[in-house]
Amino acid sequence: MGIKPVADVPTHSQGYGASSMKDWGTSAHDALVKAGAIKPCRHHFDIYLRTHGKDAESHAYAIATNTLKFGEVQEGPRRDFIDLVSDTLDRTPDTCFICEAAYERGDPRGPPLSLDQLM
């Protein structure tokens, strides 16, 4: 089957499960955060960074499996959900692009708090 892009993953609003259930993308992200496999940038809390902790990554897969197993997310093939967790982890950067741009410019003010401050 392969990895489904996030846009192709059905959400509860598309007819799967009760309205209290999370969509797959949110659940995959939450499992990675809870396990410590990804974390927010210390300056930009909406940008998540990969921690590269192998134990944390393994724990994230266990959390994701339990999330699906216990019905906290809409039903679907387990392998597809685990592939989405893996894809989300692979797409998470190692460094914050806003902080990187500030450091590359040699900005003495330090990392900007928003992309607008780089302009």
Token pair for 91: 């797409």
Q: What is the pTM of this model?
A: 0.71
Q: If you average pLDDT over residues 1-11, what whole number do you get?
A: 38
Domain that holds residue 62: 19-94
Residue 35 lies in a domain: yes
Domain count for the chain, please give it. Answer: 1
Q: If you average pLDDT over residues 83-90, what whole number do you get?
A: 95
Buried/exposed 54-68: b ≥16 CB within 10 Å, e otherwise: eebbebbbebbeebb
Q: Which parts of 5-112 are beta strand (E)?
A: 38-40, 48-50
What is the predicted pLDDT for the residue at 5? 40
Residue 30 lies in a domain: yes
pLDDT digits 0-9 by tens, 14-43: 333 333 457 888 999 999 999 999 999 988
Cβ atoms of residues 37 and 105 within 8 Å: no
CATH number of the domain that residue 64 is part of: 1.10.10
Residue type at 104 in one-letter notation: E
Residue 25 lies in a domain: yes
Residue 80 lies in a domain: yes
Residue 46 lies in a domain: yes
Q: pLDDT at residue 108 above 70?
A: no
Residue 100 lies in a domain: no
